[in-house]
Structure 1
Amino acid sequence: MNKLLLTCLAASLLFSCNQTDKVTQSASGIKNETTSAEKQTFGAAFTEENVINTSALQELAQGKDSVEAVVSAEIVESCQSKGCWMDVKLADKSTMKVTFRDYGFFLPVEDLKGRKIIFKGTAKREVISVEDQRHYAKDAGKPENEIAAITAPKEELRFVADGVILK
C-alpha cells in the first residue's frame, strides 16, 4: 500500500510542473512544441533577440525581395480549419498573412484573436491569386457572399515563419 501511495505521489509531482515539451512527427519532419504558463513555442526554437514590431518590418522590407526577421505582433485572425496560418496586425491597420515553413507545424485551432506572438522567418511581397484569397477566406469561416466578392489578385507583404512563440 505504501509503495502505491509513493508511486502516486511521484507521478503527481512529475505532472505538476508548469512546463512540458512535446515532440511529434508531422508530414514534413519533427515538430517541437513547448508549453509553459506564459507561452507556447511551435516549429524551430529561437531566442527572443533583435525583435522588431510590424511597423519596423514594413520599413525594412521596402524595396527588398525578402527580409529575415524576428517580429512581434498581435493576431487578428487564424485558420480555424487546421491552424496553418494567421493574420497579424500591421501598423497601418491592415494585416499580414503568416504561414509556416513547409507546413512543418501548426497553431492550435482556437480563437487566437488578440494574442501576442513572436515569430522568426522571412518576409516578402507576393501577389495573391483570387483562388488563394478565397481559400483563406473559407478557412477563416467567412460567409459565401464575402468569399464570392473576392474577384481580383492583390499584392501584399507575406511572412513564412520557421518558429513561433505564442504568448
Structure 2
Amino acid sequence: MNTLKYTIFSLILLVNLQSCKDTPKTIEEKEVQENAYSLKGEAFDAKTPKSAEDMAALYNSMEANDTIVVAFEAKVNAVCQNKGCWMKLDMPNSETAMVKFKDYGFFMPKDIAEDTVVVHGKAFIQEVSVDEQRHYAEDAGKTKEEVEAITEPKRTYSFLADGVLVPESENEEIQTK
C-alpha cells in the first residue's frame, strides 16, 4: 500500500511540475528559441518570409507612397555603428533596403553585418535627400571623400520594421532605447 501511495504522490508531483514549466506563449517564440534567433520588437509569423528576390520584385512594382506589410529574409549589409538605429539589407542587382525601426523602440546589435535576418513591417519606396544619405554614410563610418561624393537624391527601397529576428550571438551587445 505504501508503494501505491508513493507512486500516486510521484505522479501528482510530476504533473504539477510539468504544468509549471515555462513554455513559449506563441509559435513564433518557440521558433525563435529553436532556431537560436533573438526577437527584437514585436512578435510576428516568421514561418514563410519572402526571399530577397521576391521582395525586390515587389519593390520594383511599387510607386512612391505605396506600402506593403510583409516579412522577408535577407543578409545584413551594414548597421548604424553609433547605436544600431538602422540597417541595410542586401537585395538583388546591387540594391539595398534601408531598414529603420518602429518608434525607435528597439535597435540592432552593431556586429551583425553578413548575418541573415528576418524583418517584418512596412515596405515602401522613398526618395532620400543628399543630406540624409550623407548622414547615413557618416553613421556607417564612410570616409569624408565618400560622404562628399553623394550629390543626388536617390530612390530607395525602404522598410519600417516592427519586428526583427536576429541570429543569437555570444558577443551580442544589448541595445536599449
In the superposition, the TM-score normalised over structure 1's length comes to 0.74
* Greater mean alpha carbon deviation, residues 63-72 or residues 74-83: 63-72
Rounded Cα–Cα distance in structure 1 between residues aligned with 2:35 and 2:89: 23
The verdict on how the C-alpha distance between 1:104 and 1:50 changes in structure 2, with shifts beyond 3 A counting, is: same
- State the number of aligned residues: 133
Larger Rg: 2
Identity %: 35
Rounded Cα–Cα distance in structure 1 between residues aligned with 2:34 and 2:134: 35
Residue 93 of structure 1 and its aligned partner are, at CA, apart by 2.4
For structure 2, the residue ranges without an aligned partner over 5 or more in a row are 1-31, 168-177
Higher strand share: 1
Does the 8 A contact of 1:118 with 1:165 survive in 2? Answer: yes
Does the 8 A contact of 2:62 with 2:125 survive in 1? Answer: no
For structure 1, the residue ranges without an aligned partner over 5 or more in a row are 1-33
* Large movers: runs of 4+ above 3 Å: 34-37
**Alignment of 1:63 onto 2:62:** yes
Q: Corresponding residue for 1:105?
A: 106
Residue 142 of structure 1 and its aligned partner are, at CA, apart by 0.6
Aligned counterparts, 1:7-86, within 5 A: 38-61=36-59, 62-64=61-63, 65-86=66-87
The verdict on how the C-alpha distance between 1:152 and 1:42 changes in structure 2, with shifts beyond 3 A counting, is: same
Q: Alignment RMSD, CA only?
A: 1.7
Helix, strand or coil: the match of 1:58?
helix
In the superposition, the TM-score normalised over structure 2's length comes to 0.70
Higher helix share: 2
Q: Corresponding residue for 1:164?
A: 164
The verdict on how the C-alpha distance between 1:37 and 1:79 changes in structure 2, with shifts beyond 3 A counting, is: same
Does the 8 A contact of 2:88 with 2:98 survive in 1? Answer: yes
